[in-house]
């Protein structure tokens, strides 16, 4: 993992900068620290005994430069599928009487600007690294079934959304997570899922706050 002293110094500087910019107790800081914790946990678990380079490779976060344009297009495709799945689920939940997405909208609208920015920048990276980068791959490898890996990791991801108190949010989060798993499996990279996740969150925030 490189020189231990350099690694510790880098971590110290990073933590100092984080505390300076995002002091504990400040509204929005919890999103930052949760996201960073997710990413660091995924990187540590995938790098342990191997080194950070192999850890990033395990998380599928080491794309070749020449592959980036194609991965970007895959990200747009993943976004389109995610939006379609969300629309279909919304219609189904409406007719079933479980469309309580207004609860989520109220929570989003109450967040400060900084928290909203973090929700579509840092948060998607941390969540994708842990749930699609590490957990999805780990379960898939252990079970020899990427479908089982997708189902279980998506269930864990959806459980994070219990705090919203919305049935619709949990179901949609699970379905979108399945989409991200499928595109990660198809492309062998986490980049499309990050692009789709970040853009989806951005569009959700804009539609909730400004429309």
pLDDT in tens, 165-203: 888 999 999 999 999 999 999 999 999 999 999 999 999
> What is the C-alpha to C-alpha distance for residues 133 and 190, in angstroms, rounded to an integer?
6
Cβ pair 176, 85 in contact under 8 A: yes
pLDDT of 3 higher than 70:
no
Q: Is pLDDT above 60 for 1? A: no
Range of the domain at 173: 4-209
- Total domains in the fold of the chain: 1
Q: What's the predicted TM-score (pTM) here?
A: 0.91
Helices (H), 48-135: 52-58, 68-96, 102-109, 113-120, 122-127
150-173 average pLDDT score: 93
Q: How many CB atoms lie within 10 A of CB 79?
A: 22
Q: What is the DSSP string of 171-189?
A: HHHHHHHHHHHHHHHHHT-
- If one compares 202 and 211, the residue with the highest pLDDT of the two is 202
Q: Using CA atoms, how far apart are residues 115 and 208, in angstroms rounded to an integer?
A: 14
Task: Please check whether residue 27 is in contact with residue 153, taking contact to mean a CB–CB distance below 8 angstroms.
Answer: no
CA–CA separation, 190 and 173 (whole Å) = 17
**Could you give the 3-state DSSP secondary structure of residue 27?**
coil
């Amino acid at each position: 993992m490189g020189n231990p002293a350099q690694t510790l110094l880098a971590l110290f500087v990073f933590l100092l900068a984080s505390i300076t910019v995002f002091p504990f107790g400040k509204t929005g800081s919890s999103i930052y620290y949760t996201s960073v914790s997710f990413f660091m946990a995924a990187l540590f678990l995938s790098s342990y005994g191997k080194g950070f380079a192999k850890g990033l490779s395990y998380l599928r976060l080491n794309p070749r430069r020449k592959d980036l344009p194609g991965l970007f297009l895959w990200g747009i495709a993943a976004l389109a599928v995610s939006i379609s799945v969300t629309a279909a689920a919304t219609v189904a939940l409406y007719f079933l009487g479980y469309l309580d997405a207004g609860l989520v909208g109220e929570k989003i609208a109450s967040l400060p600007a900084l928290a909203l920015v973090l929700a579509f920048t840092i948060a998607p990276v941390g969540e994708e690294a842990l749930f699609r980068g590490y957990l999805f791959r780990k379960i898939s490898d252990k079970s020899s079934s990427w479908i089982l890996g997708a189902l279980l990791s998506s269930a864990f991801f959806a459980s994070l959304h219990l705090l919203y108190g919305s049935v619709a949010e949990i179901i949609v989060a699970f379905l979108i997570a399945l989409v991200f798993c499928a595109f990660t499996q198809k492309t062998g990279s986490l980049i499309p899922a990050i692009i789709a996740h970040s853009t989806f969150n951005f569009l959700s925030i804009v539609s909730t706050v400004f429309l």
